[in-house]
Amino acid sequence: MEVCHGPNGVDNNSINNLRYDTHKANINEATPTRKDIRAVKCGDGRVFFSITEAALHTGASRSKIVECCRGRRNKSGGLTWSYYENDW
């Protein structure tokens, strides 16, 4: 058994956000789910559910797409990029 963080994230060490569980359960909870992956939108209007998906479909570099979304770069793969906020 180990101490695991709850739904309020690893930065919240409040007793209300901690619990005991198995290592396997803790690892499974830490694995990102679809809602934890940030969607991106490219300059031509297409929306991709993840940066990896965007890179596969456009040939743009994943790391360069992230740099664009963070405002550190103008284009990747000849396209502009931004994070797409939406409640799926």
**Contact, 50 vs 38, CB < 8 A?**
yes
Residues forming beta bridges with residue 2, ordered by sequence position: 21
Q: Flag whether the pTM goes above 0.75.
A: no
Radius of gyration for the alpha carbons in the chain, expressed in angstroms and rounded = 17
Residue 88: what pLDDT? 46
> What's the pLDDT band for 86 if we cut at 50, 70, 90?
low
Residues of the chain with CATH 1.10.10.10: 34-84
**Contact, 52 vs 43, CB < 8 A?**
no
The predicted-structure confidence for 28-75, as pLDDT tens digits, reads as follows 766 555 444 678 999 999 999 888 899 999 999 999 999 999 999 999
**Contact, 52 vs 39, CB < 8 A?**
no
- Residue of 49, 29, 30 lying closest to 38 (CA atoms): 49
Residues forming beta bridges with residue 4, ordered by sequence position: 19
Topology given in CATH for the domain delimited by 34-84: Arc Repressor Mutant, subunit A (1.10.10)
